[in-house]
């Protein structure tokens, strides 16, 4: 889709939402982070358009790692979104911002025992489990506290996300998730553990993905696995497709030029088809789908304003010191 950022030039002076950048720096100093509320909300609404008529089956959990500013979290909550968190600190920030715990997914490879207990006590929607060791720890802590932990297992589908190798998370050599070949065995153990309620299966294959083809491959592979899991007598009611949708970072544009970015609405609708209308979904069961967008919602809504303090030159180049 084509879109413009909320910036423009008036009399050769840069503005954000018709407010002069110079006036913002004069009032608040620099360096200064400025966020466009209108652009941020338009991205939330574009995602929401994709679930029109399916609000009970498509849920969004904002990826807090993208930006955890409290005012942003308040606006996320106001649009009936949840949050994808990776720490107890992020859970606390969600609670302070008024975001309901039952909309929170706790992800991350290194949850501490105190963080697991914190999530259980808060009543979060789901623990996204990354290892057998973590699964067993959640079981033990849940039993000790007299609770049942809702869990989903993050599957590593071994799908190339076609992104930078440092932000690829869905290949078998990556540290994230349970390998596809081990997944059925792990689900059987999870279903037998005390204090565990198996709810979902999911993946997160990488970040800054600019086309949907890798999601299609991962969805097909996951749904084939879900069929095997359910044939083993373990119902899967939810599919978590992670985040990762990319944005245009202005590398070849002026800030007031039109950008070409993946359309969140189209993405959500396409994922619904690949998950629930796929030939791999042999049962025909309409499962809840959870998305965890972060960068694609907030990335181009924020601007860092700085002032040039000095110019520094050497024989090779000139540096701007801010």
Quote the CA–CA distance of 180 and 215 in Å, as a whole number. 16
Quote the CA–CA distance of 71 and 77 in Å, as a whole number. 10
The answer as to whether 79 is a domain residue is yes
- Mean per-residue pLDDT, 154-167: 63
Q: How confident is the model at residue 154, as a pLDDT?
A: 94
The answer as to whether 13 is a domain residue is no
The answer as to whether 32 is a domain residue is no
- Mean per-residue pLDDT, 141-154: 98
142: pLDDT strictly greater than 60: yes
Give the CATH number for residue 229: 3.20.20.10
Helix H or strand E encompassing 16: strand 13-16
Q: How confident is the model at residue 6, as a pLDDT?
A: 86
Q: How confident is the model at residue 161, as a pLDDT?
A: 52
Provide the residue range defining the domain that includes 127: 37-300
pLDDT averaged over the chain? 90
**pLDDT tens profile 254-302:** 666 777 788 999 999 999 999 999 888 888 889 999 999 999 999 999 9
Quote the CA–CA distance of 147 and 145 in Å, as a whole number. 5
**pLDDT tens profile 1-39:** 888 888 888 888 889 999 999 999 999 999 999 999 999
Residue predicted with more confidence, 174 or 152: 152
**pLDDT tens profile 56-75:** 999 999 999 999 999 999 99
Token pair 């969600």 in the structure block, residue: 94
The answer as to whether 47 is a domain residue is yes
The answer as to whether 24 is a domain residue is no
Q: How confident is the model at residue 249, as a pLDDT?
A: 74
Q: How confident is the model at residue 257, as a pLDDT?
A: 74
The answer as to whether 312 is a domain residue is no
238: pLDDT strictly greater than 60: yes
Instruction: Look at residues 281, 275, 286 and name the one whose alpha carbon lies nearest to residue 241.
Output: 275
Q: How confident is the model at residue 3, as a pLDDT?
A: 83
Instruction: Look at residues 269, 265, 278 and name the one whose alpha carbon lies nearest to residue 218.
Output: 278
- Mean per-residue pLDDT, 230-257: 85
Give 139's pLDDT tier (boundaries 50, 70, 90): very high
For residues 303, 304, 305, 309, the Cα torsion angle rounded to the nearest 10 degrees is -150
Instruction: Look at residues 297, 260, 264 and name the one whose alpha carbon lies nearest to residue 50.
Output: 264
Q: How confident is the model at residue 174, as a pLDDT?
A: 52
**pLDDT tens profile 303-312:** 999 999 999 9
Cα–chain center distance at 111: 17
Q: How confident is the model at residue 168, as a pLDDT?
A: 44
Q: How confident is the model at residue 250, as a pLDDT?
A: 64
CA 230, 279, 246, 83 torsion-angle sign: negative
- Domain total of the chain: 1
The answer as to whether 6 is a domain residue is no
CB atoms closer than 10 angstroms to residue 118: 19
The answer as to whether 189 is a domain residue is yes
The DSSP code for 6 is: S
164: pLDDT strictly greater than 50: no
- Mean per-residue pLDDT, 236-259: 81
129: pLDDT strictly greater than 70: yes
Cβ atoms of 130 and 109 closer than 8 Å: yes
**pLDDT tens profile 86-119:** 999 999 999 999 999 999 999 999 999 999 999 9
Q: How confident is the model at residue 205, as a pLDDT?
A: 83
Residues near 30 by beta carbon (within 8 Å), at least 6 away in sequence:
305, 306, 307
């Amino acid at each position: 889709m084509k879109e413009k950022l909320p910036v423009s030039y008036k009399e050769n002076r840069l503005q954000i939402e018709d407010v002069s950048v110079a006036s913002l720096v004069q009032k608040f100093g620099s360096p200064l982070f400025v966020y466009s509320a209108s652009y941020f909300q338009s991205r939330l609404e574009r995602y929401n358009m994709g679930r029109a008529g399916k609000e009970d089956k498509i849920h969004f959990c904002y990826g807090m790692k993208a930006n955890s500013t409290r005012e942003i979290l308040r606006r996320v909550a106001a649009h009936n979104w949840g949050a994808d968190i990776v720490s107890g600190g992020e859970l606390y920030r969600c609670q302070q911002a008024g975001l309901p715990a039952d909309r929170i997914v706790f992800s991350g490879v290194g949850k501490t025992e105190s963080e697991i207990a914190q999530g259980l006590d808060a009543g979060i929607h789901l623990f996204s489990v990354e290892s057998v060791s973590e699964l067993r720890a959640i079981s033990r802590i849940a039993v000790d506290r007299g609770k049942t932990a809702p869990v989903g297992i993050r599957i590593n589908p071994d799908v190339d996300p076609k992104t930078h190798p440092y932000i690829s998370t869905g290949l078998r050599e990556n540290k994230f998730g349970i390998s596809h070949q081990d997944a059925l065995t792990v689900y059987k153990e999870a279903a037998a553990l005390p204090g565990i309620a198996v709810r979902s299966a999911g993946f997160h294959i990488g970040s800054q993905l600019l086309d949907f083809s890798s999601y299609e491959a991962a969805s097909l592979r996951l749904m084939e696995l879900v069929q095997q899991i359910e044939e083993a007598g373990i119902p899967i009611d939810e599919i978590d497709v992670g985040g990762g949708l990319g944005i245009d970072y202005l590398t070849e544009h002026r800030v007031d030029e039109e950008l070409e970015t993946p359309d969140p609405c189209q993405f959500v609708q396409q994922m619904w088809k690949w998950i629930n209308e796929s030939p791999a979904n042999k049962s025909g069961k309409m499962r809840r789908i959870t998305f965890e967008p972060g960068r694609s919602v907030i990335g181009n809504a924020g601007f860092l304003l700085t002032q040039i303090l000095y110019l520094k030159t050497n024989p090779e180049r000139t540096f701007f010191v801010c």
